[in-house]
Chains A and B, each alone.
Chain A
Amino acid sequence: MLTRRKLALLTGAATTSALLFAAALPGSALAQTKTVVDFWHGLPQPLGGQLEQIVKDFNDSQQAVQVNASYKGSYPETMQAAIAAFRAGNAPHIVQMFEVGTATMMAAGPAVKPVYQLMQETGASFDPDAYIPAVKGYYSSKDGKMMALPFNSSTAIMFYNKDAFTKAGLDPNKAPTTWPELVDAAKKLKASGSSCPFTTSWPTWVQLEQLGAIHNTPFATQANGYGGLNAELKIDAPLYVKHVQTLIDMQKDGLFKYGGRDNKPDALFPSGECAMIQGSSSLRSRILKEATFAWGAAPLPYWPEFANNDPKNGIIGGAAFWVMTSPKRTPAEYKAVSQFFTYLAKPEVDAKWHMDTGYVPVTLKGIEIAKAQGYYEKNPGADVPAAQLTRTPTTENSMGLRLGNLPEIRNIIQEELEKAFQGQQDAKQALDASIKRGNTVLRNFERANKG
C-alpha cells in the first residue's frame, strides 16, 4: 500500500524532475545555437517596454545572439543588484547605469570592461565621434576613451504654461532667457494670482550642476573630477551663492516653490499649479499626456553677468550601458555583446528611441534623421534639449561631472538646501556645509578606490 510518506516523496520527486526538465529544455536548445546575453535595466513602464522592444528587434534581426532584458527596479536598485551580482561572481553581461554612477563604475577597474576595449578586441567598428560631444565627454575616460555605451540621455530644460503667461500679461511665445527676466516673469505671474510661479525638479542637478556647466564655472576642482579622485567641491563660487540666494529670496516672496527632492516636483507642472518648471527634458511625455493647457519648452535661463551672454552647453542626465566582467565570461559572449552594441549605436535606432520616448538623441546623425523626418516641425520645442546640449563646444566645466558617490552628494546638497528654504541658514552657509560634507564623501571614495 502507498503510505502517505511514500506519496509525498513521489510527488516531490515528480515535481522536481518536471522542474529540472522544464528548466533544462530551453537552455540547452538555445545553448547550441545562440549565445545568451543578460541585460539588466532600470527603466519602469512604459519606457522599459520600449527598451525591451528594441532588444526584441535586435533578437529578431539575427540568429546568433539572444539578449535577455530584465527590469531590476529603479536606477539605484539596478546598480545595487549589479554590484551584489558581481560580488557573487554572477554579474550580468550588460547593466544600465545612471549617469551619477559613472565615477563609481569607472573606479570599478576589473569589474568593468570598457566599451572601447570591447569593440577593439571583438573587431567591431565603433566611432566615438558619432556621439554628440556632451554625451561622449560624460562617458569618456581622462584620455578620451569611451568607457560605456551612451543610450538614453536627457538634459535639463524649462517648461512654461503659456495660458498662465497670457493671463499675467506676458508674451506666451517668449520664455525668459535670463534669471532677472525669470524673476520679473514670476512677479507678474504672482500678481495675476499664481500660487506657484516657478518650481524645479532635481534641485541639485538642475540648479547647481547644470548651472555650473552653462556658466562655464567649475562644480569641483580637478576639472569636475575628470582629473583625479582628489577633487573637491567648488560650489561656494559667487555664481552659486548668488543663484541659491536668489532661490531662497524668491521662495520667501512666494515666487518659487520648493516641491521636494529628485523628480517629486514633476507633478506640479502638468497639474497647472506651477507656471514654470525646470526639470528633465524627459518630463515632456508626461506633460503631453496630462496637461490641459498650452505650454512651451525653452532652454535654461542664465545670469548675464556670469555667462558673458555666451551660455555654454548643458550636461546630460539619463543612463548608459556598461559591460561587466565575470570569472565565467567567454570571448564568444563578449562578441555577442559587441554585436548588440553595434546595433544600438545605429543612428536609426537612436533616432527612433528619441522620437518614441523624448530622450535626446545621443548621436549627431540621430538628430539629422529626426530633422529629416520632420519630427521637430510636428513637435515644436522637442528640439530644445538637443539644441541646448550642442550649442557650444564642451569646455572642461561643461563636459560633465566625474565625482565619486555623486548620488550621496546630491542628497547632501538637497538636505542643505531644504534647511536654507526653512530659513535655518542662508545660501553661503548652505553651500559651505554642502562642501564640507560633500568633501568628506569624496575623501572616503578616494580612499576606498585608490590603488
Chain B
Amino acid sequence: MQRRVTFDNRLLPYLLLAPQVTVTLVFFIWPAANAIWQSVHLQDAFGIRSEFVWFENFTHVLSDPNYLDTLKVTVVFSIAVTVLAMGVALLLAVLADSKIKGARAYKTLLIWPYALAPAVAAVLWMFIFNPDIGSFGQALRALGYDWDYRLNGGQALVMVIMAASWKQVSYNFIFFLAGLQAIPRSVMEAASIDGAGPMRRFWTITFPLLSPTTFFLLVVDMVYAFFETFGTIHALTQGGPGKATETLIFRVYQDGVVNNDLGGSSAQSVILMVIVIALTAVQFRFVERKVHYA
C-alpha cells in the first residue's frame, strides 16, 4: 500500500520544494545553459564583440588532432584511476574487515588521505617524486634509473594516475568496508561449514553481495577521474610534458581560463557533459542489471 502525504495548503509543497529547485537552477541549470550559449558564439576576452557561429567551435575542437590525443589520455587515465582506486580499496577493505589486531587503527589511517585537498596531496607527491628534490625521485636516479617526469610522458602519466587513485582509495575503502560489514555473517558461516575456502567465499558470496556498492563506486570514481582530478594534474604536471597528462577537464580550464577562448572551452564542456551523461546512462542500463540489490 502506498502512503500519500496531503497538504492543506496548496502553496506549501511548492514552498518546501523551492530551496532545492533554486539550488539546482542557480548552480546547475544556469551555468549549463550559459555554457551551451557560449559554445555557439565566438567572443573576445572581454565580451565586447560576440558573434553567433553555429557549431564552428565544435567542429574546430573535434577536428583538432590534439583534442583526440587528449581524449585518449583521458580514457586511459580514467580507466586506470578507477580500476586502481577500486582494486586497492577492495583489497584493503577485505583485509581490514578480517579479524586482525589494531583493525581500528588501520581503518583510521586508511581514511586519512580523503581529508586532504587534491592540490595538497599533489604537492606531497611532488616532494616524493620530483627528480631533483623528491626523496624517491632522487633514490631512483641514484640507482641509475632515468626518472624525470618533466620530460618522460609515460612516467608523468603513471605518476598522476597513482596520485589521483591514492586520493580516491580512502573514499572507496569506507564504502567497501561498510558494504562488507553489511553482509550477514550467517551466510559466510554456512559456506564455511559447507567447505568453501576464503577465495571461493569471496567470489561467490562477498563479491556479488557487494555489487551495489561496487556499482555505486564505479559511477562515482568515473566522475571523479573525469572532473575532480584537475587539482592533482594542475599541481603536478600542468598537463605536460608535451600533452602527455592533459585530460579533457584540464584542457577546458586551459582553454577557458588561461587562453581566454570561452567559445572553444564551452564547446568542450558541452562535449564533456554529453560524454559523462552517456557514460552514466550506459552504466545504469547495462551494468546495473548485473547488480544484486539485497
Contact = CB atoms under 8 A, between A and B. Distances in A.
Interface of A: 76, 80, 83, 86-87, 104, 107-111, 258-261, 264, 267-268, 271, 273, 405, 407-408, 411, 414-416, 418-419, 421-422, 424, 437, 441, 444, 447-451
B258 A448 contact: no
17 contacts: A87-B47, A109-B46, A259-B150, A261-B240, A271-B132, A271-B133, A273-B132, A405-B260, A408-B258, A411-B254, A418-B241, A422-B151, A444-B261, A448-B42, A448-B43, A448-B44, A449-B44
Interface in B176-206: none
Contacts of A261: 238, 240
Contacts of A86: 46-47
Interface string B237-260: 010111100000000001001111
Given A415-B243, A422-B151, A448-B43, 4 more contacts: A83-B45, A108-B44, A110-B48, A449-B44
Contacts of B113: none
A226 B258 CA distance: 22
Contact of B46 (A76, A108, A415): A108
Contacts, number: 84
A408 B239 CA distance: 13
Contact of B151 (A411, A418, A441, A448): A418
A405 B153 contact: no
B22 interface: no
Contacts of A415: 240-243
B46 to A, nearest CB: 4
A405 B259 contact: yes
B59 interface: no
Contact of B150 (A104, A108, A258): A258
Interface in B212-253: 238, 240-243
B24 interface: no
B49 interface: yes
Contact of A111 (B46, B51, B242, B243): B46
Given A259-B150, A422-B152, A267 B259 contact: no
Interface in B250-279: 254, 257-261, 263-264
B84 to A, nearest CB: 25
A408 B151 contact: no
B42 A418 contact: no
Contacts of B47: 86-87
A419 B258 contact: no
Contact of A104 (B43, B45, B240, B257): B45
A110 B46 CA distance: 10
Contacts of B241: 415, 418-419, 421-422
B231 to A, nearest CB: 15
Contacts of A418: 150-151, 240-242
A108 B132 CA distance: 42
A429 to B, nearest CB: 13
B181 to A, nearest CB: 39
B91 to A, nearest CB: 35
A86 to B, nearest CB: 6
A314 B276 CA distance: 49
A422 B151 CA distance: 6
B251 to A, nearest CB: 11
Contacts of A447: 42
A111 B150 CA distance: 39
Contacts of A451: 49
Most chain B CB neighbours (cut-off 10 Å) among A87, A271, A419, A448: A448
Contacts of B43: 448
Contact of A87 (B46, B254, B261, B263): B46
**What 6 pairs between A and B have smallest CB-CB spacing?**
A418-B241, A408-B259, A111-B46, A419-B242, A448-B44, A260-B150
A108 B48 contact: yes
Contacts of B151: 258, 418, 421-422
Contacts of A109: 46, 48
Contacts of A424: 242
Contacts of A450: 49
Contacts of A258: 150-151
Contact of B240 (A111, A414, A441): A414
A415 B241 CA distance: 6
